[in-house]
Amino acid sequence: MSVELFVFWMLALVAVASAVLVISAKNPVHSVLFLILCFFNAAGLFVLIGAEFLAMVLVVVYVGAVAVLFMFVVMMLDINFVRLREGFLNYLPIGGLVGLVLLAELVLVGASWALKEPAIAAAPATAELDNTRALGRVLYTEHFLVFQIAGFVLLVSIIGAIALTLRERVGVKRQDIARQVHRRPAETLVLERVEPGKGV
């Protein structure tokens, strides 16, 4: 057994085991930790097939942002998980039906992929052009307009989320930077002449 094959089986087995533990762990904090472990192993599998850019994006975006956000939300919110699990048996039939449908779809996709030749051949790897540079050339040349539109849509969604969650609360002091910048010395400084022997 070669080193690459050994590393593949090790990463694949740990990824599958951690994915199972994500949904089977009783503590939600442990579920998030197993999710982070699953992301790291998936990133290792991406590195094995030569997609180091996807591995970096998986670690930076999903582990560094999404999973950590899940961790903070789970730890900060006081959620009664015992109460949430009370109606588990009521939703078990519909959940099992949905699971069976998804399993059948995965089996059909896997069988059709195994029986049919791939329509797109893999691009030959060249020594002078790595995966990240090739992906960058494609994004910023052929798909530049679509890439910029996707960035604009994300920007609009961020502005919309901020606008929806920003609320003006009565009685809460806020910093008004424009008012601070445009204030005059007469509004902030008062000179008082104090006579001897008397206070202000």
Q: Which residues, 6+ apart, have CB-to-CB distance to 59 below 8 Å?
A: 39, 40, 43
Q: What percent of the chain has pLDDT over 70?
A: 84
pLDDT at 82 over 70: no
Residue 65 has pLDDT above 50, yes or no: yes
80-92 as b/e, with b when 16 or more CB fall inside 10 Å? eeeeeeeeeeeee
Percent pLDDT > 90 in the chain is 8
List the helix and strand counts (H, then E) for the chain: 10, 0
Q: Stretch 85-111: mean pLDDT, rounded?
A: 79
Q: pLDDT (tens digit, 9 = 90+) per residue, 18-33?
A: 999 988 887 777 888 8
Res 92 pLDDT > 70: yes
Residue 119 has pLDDT above 90, yes or no: no
Q: What is the pLDDT of residue 16?
A: 92
Q: Is the pLDDT of residue 153 over 90?
A: yes
The C-alpha angle with vertex 121 and arms to 120 and 127, in degrees rounded to 5, equals 135
Please state the pTM of the whole predicted model. 0.55
pLDDT value, residue 162: 81
In the predicted structure, residue 98 carries a pLDDT above the cut 90:
no
Architecture per CATH, domain 1-82, reads as Up-down Bundle (1.20)
**For the residues 73-80, what does the mean pLDDT come to?**
69
pLDDT of residue 145: 92
Give the model's pLDDT for residue 195.
82
Confidence class of residue 149 from pLDDT cuts 50, 70 and 90?
A: very high
Closest to 67 (Cα-Cα) out of 103, 8, 18, 24: 18
Domain residues of the chain, as ranges? 1-82, 130-163
